[in-house]
Structure 1
């Protein structure tokens, strides 16, 4: 398995976990909806945390990425619900 494939799988797994956690917080969603909201949330959360200069102080990069993606996914779902 190449590094690109492995990185893509890790990114999808982080998105799925973040989408699932976001669905626990705001409710609803199937597998595809969790995956999509988590992937979009990863971009949104990563951008927001870096733009605002927020550092969580956690040493584990995987945990930090999941937290960023989950916060971003929650924001994405709430904005999508407000628009719809």
Structure 2
């Protein structure tokens, strides 16, 4: 297999494909568990609350439904402007995530 040659932007020199990096040199894809873990925990908790309302079970299912519910809840907020105002930003986000998770479970049951 031959490698293609690419021209560098700043000069007339060419760079082989195996030397091209998409990310900045020496850096991998940043994955910060300190930011990701609370999102997963909140998603699991909202999935659990949604399963109490409409039924369901399993920790993995709670996490997936909760994370999808967080996305759906944020989509509802952005599309319609509806919000639940409790006075605390965390509770506002959690309430919209639970509503989104309930909608995800109901939609999944409707499709299946």
Whether the TM-score (by the shorter chain) exceeds 0.5 is: yes
- Bigger relative contact order, structure 1 or 2 (CA pairs below 8 A, ≥6 apart): 1
- Cα offsets for 1:18-77 (capped at 9, x unmatched): 000000000122100000000001000111122111122223121111111111110000
Q: 2:101 aligns with which of 48, 54, 73?
A: 73
Match in the other structure for 1:59: 87
Of Structure 1 and Structure 2, the greater strand share is in 2
Alpha-carbon distance in 2 for matches of 1:7, 1:23: 25
TM-score, normalised relative to structure 1: 0.89
- In the comparison of the two structures, how many residue pairs are matched? 82
Match in the other structure for 2:39: 11
Aligned partners of 1:21 and 1:70 also within 8 Å = yes
TM-score, normalised relative to structure 2: 0.68
Alpha-carbon distance in 2 for matches of 1:80, 1:55: 24
Any gaps of 5 or more consecutive residues in structure 2? 1-31
Of Structure 1 and Structure 2, the greater helix share is in 1
